[in-house]
Amino acid sequence: MKITLYSMFSRVTVLKRLLLGLIVGLLAARLIGGVAPPENMLVHLITGSLMGMGYAWLFGTQTPRGMADLLNGFPVAIGAWVLLGVNLYPLLTGSSPMWQANAIITALPTLIAYLLMGSLTGLGYGAICHWFGQRLGLLTAVVDPPPVQTHLVILGGGYAGVAAAETLEAEFAHDPTVGIWLVSSTNYLLHTPMLSEVAASAVNAQHISPPLRSAFRRVQVVQGSVERVDLTERIVYLAADAHSPQSQLPFHQLVVAVGAIPNFFGNQSIEANSFTFKSLDDAVRLRNHIIDRFERADHEADAAVRQALLTFVVAGGGFAGVELMGSLNDFTRGITASYPNLDPDEVRIVLVHSGETILPELSPTLGQYAQEKLAERGVEFMLKTRVTGAEAGCVLLGEKAIATHTFVWTAGNRPSPVLQQLGVPLTQRGQLEVNSYLVSPTIPYLWAAGDCAQVPDKHSRTGFAPPTAQHALREGKVIGHNIAATLRKRGLTEFDFKTLGSLSTLGHQLAVAEIFGYRFAGLLAWLMWRTIYLSKLPTLEKRVRVGLDWLLDLFFPPDIVQTIDFGRETKEDIYDKS
Ligand SMILES: Cc1cc2nc3c(=O)[nH]c(=O)nc-3n(C[C@H](O)[C@H](O)[C@H](O)COP(=O)(O)OP(=O)(O)OC[C@H]3O[C@@H](n4cnc5c(N)ncnc54)[C@H](O)[C@@H]3O)c2cc1C
């Protein structure tokens, strides 16, 4: 029979492990205290018990492994030394923390004592688990887990899908008969508010996209593309590809959170000749394309062709378009220093918007402010103007045209077309209709959230929840709780969330924000934007990485390394497109 420390452990098991850690730590402290500084045995005993519990907390679920147990004691010992020996104990005795080099040198002998104590704790803990673990109830015999009886399948690894999966994982943490699957075409969660920073080379692409797999312990992540869903047979069919050899997933409850895609309103010329700005691929491709245009412009003698290469047009004055515009403006003007043959005044950034003021989601005064500030920084606005078409090398605005090689379309979204494969009637906008419990009014095992769902919202002007991340993730949580309540035959919770606020960055140290009805603009709003969205970025690791990117950005110019080769266009190609 296979013995392991890791299983569906209960709170009692955790408490027993902590107790064992405490006892082993105390014994180790008693032993080491006799031969190593400091002289004070009480300090040793307190340290030992804390270290022992820390060890049990961190490594108590591992199978005893001899040498590895000893080595595991070292990081615990070093952590305890820094926390207790260098900081806490000196403070408790009225001295200052031992941060200076000479103080740390005097504390080194105690580090040796801590390391000895740590390794002894690890060895002792592992040995007791090895010989007595099963009798003490610390080890669990892993017999075949009970078969999964209830299949919960979530489609979409965005804010809504991940929030639903996290909530379901917590709800069924101790019930192995419930299996949870999360299907997503990408293997990461994209933190969209920072997408413009990727396009502008301010933040590394991986840093805003935590991997889905590391977010879960029990949820099975399947990278794959949903092709269709049979709601009668209750089976999800995935496109057969290398990522998803498992082509069918049966379900008892289905959550649909597949988000939205760009909407070109049937204009094929725009679709064929524009960049979209929704995914990580889009941002990386755009960044590379812009650098590529600069490389070409740098050795282009024809002024008209050079001007087209250095003209960047964004359609759409909503959050996505304006944030992108602000970041691109900084990026393109910032990198001209690396291209000595180019005149910074040749860079042209144009925002085309059909409304009178940009950022219609915010108060008109903030939209006006954003417009004025961006105009001061060189952005050109074409308001009350619609893009009517696009060709290679040119954007059409009715009678007028702008020669450009970079046209980004952010002027519309529509729900993912995969919804049409569900075989249920959709709303006029193509969304899946759900009631305030986020379940389909006609199919009790079909749930939907996020940009692909029409969610009733009494706080919104339209009567439906707006397509934002803050709504999507709260809807996902409500679905998680409601599925659990359905399976446990309890009452459902209504989705009831009032928008906290909206923020939009406009580029370097400039933003606008409206939070709880209060308006902010300028540097303060920009600091709020950074603080709020950094705190919302999942995982500490990614937050640290983005923080470091921002820090380095203060000292170094934008990175112009081109990581996608678009192939060698001939000179005629460039002329033809302008
Ligand atoms: C540039 C930009 C900036 C934004 N800034 C903000 C902001 O500052 N604040 C804010 O609140 N909101 C912002 N938003 C809006 C926000 O990103 C969306 O409202 C939110 O992502 C919606 O979440 P969701 O889970 O419904 O969809 P998404 O986050 O889009 O996730 C959809 C998921 O479904 C998966 N998927 C799609 N089709 C399939 C398929 N066929 N098979 C398998 N998987 C599939 C995708 O891979 C993805 O994982 C921004 C959006 C963009 C594009």
Residue 529 CB–ligand 1 contact under 6 Å = no
CA-CA distance, 457 to 471, in Å (whole number)?
A: 10
What pLDDT was estimated at residue 8?
43
* Tokens encoding 291: 């650098």
- The residue that leads in pLDDT, 381 or 74, is 381
Tokens of 248: 């069918």
Q: Which two tokens stand for residue 370?
A: 């954003």
**Dihedral of the alpha carbons of 74, 75, 77, 82, in degrees to the nearest 10:** 140
Q: Over the stretch 43-65, which tens digit does the pLDDT of each residue have?
A: 878 888 888 899 888 887 667 67
Q: Is the CB of 184 under 6 A from ligand 1?
A: yes
pLDDT band at 571 (very low <50, low <70, confident <90, very high): very low
Distance 318 CA to ligand 1 centre (A): 15
Task: Please tell me the predicted confidence (pLDDT) of residue 70.
Answer: 82
Q: Are 497 and 186 in contact (CB under 8 A)?
A: no
Between 510 and 246, residue with greater pLDDT: 510
Can you tell me which residue has the tokens 């590895």?
Answer: 68
Average pLDDT for residues 547-556, to the nearest whole number?
Answer: 94
| Per-residue confidence band for 575, with pLDDT thresholds at 50, 70 and 90 | very low
For residues 69-82, average pLDDT: 86
Q: Which two tokens stand for residue 453?
A: 């769902």
Quote the mean pLDDT of the chain. Answer: 90
Test site for ligand 1: of 258, 287, 327, 504, most ligand atoms within 8 A of the Cβ: 258
pLDDT score, position 30: 83
pLDDT value for 478: 98
Give Cβ neighbours of residue 290 (< 8 Å, ≥ 6 apart).
199, 312, 328, 331, 332, 406
* Amino acid at site 560: I
Q: Is 484 in the pocket of ligand 1 (CB under 6 A)?
A: no
State how far the Cα of 402 lies from the Cα of 377, in Å rounded to an integer.
20
- Which strands, in side-by-side order, build the sheet including 248-250? 226-230, 235-238, 248-250
CA of 566 to the centre of ligand 1 (A): 27
Give the pLDDT of residue 207: 97
pLDDT per position as a tens digit, 500-509: 999 999 999 9
Give the pLDDT of residue 80.
Answer: 87
Quick one: tokens of 91?
């403070």
Kindly give the number of the ligand 1 atom that is closest to the alpha carbon of 450.
26
When comparing pLDDT for 63 and 179, which is higher? 179
pLDDT at 202: 94
The finding on whether 156 has its CB within 6 A of some atom of ligand 1 is yes
Report cis status (omega within 30 of 0) of the bond before 538: no
Q: Which of 5-19, 143-157, 316-330 has the highest mean pLDDT?
A: 316-330
Overall average pLDDT of the 554-572 stretch: 78
Of 83-87, 163-167, 223-227, where does mean pLDDT reach its minimum? 83-87
Residue nearest ligand 1's atom 38 by CA: 258
Q: Is the pLDDT of residue 6 over 80?
A: no
pLDDT at 576 over 60: no
Structure tokens at 540: 């500490």
DSSP letters for 533-547: HHHHSSSHHHHHHHH
Q: Measure 451 CA to ligand 1 centroid, in angstroms.
A: 7
Ligand 1 neighbour 160 (Cβ under 6 A)? yes
What is the best residue among 236, 455, 468, 479 to mutate for testing ligand 1's pocket, by most ligand atoms within 8 Å of CB? 468
The two structure tokens encoding residue 472: 């999507």
- CB 486 near ligand 1, within 6 Å: no
3-state secondary structure at position 34: coil
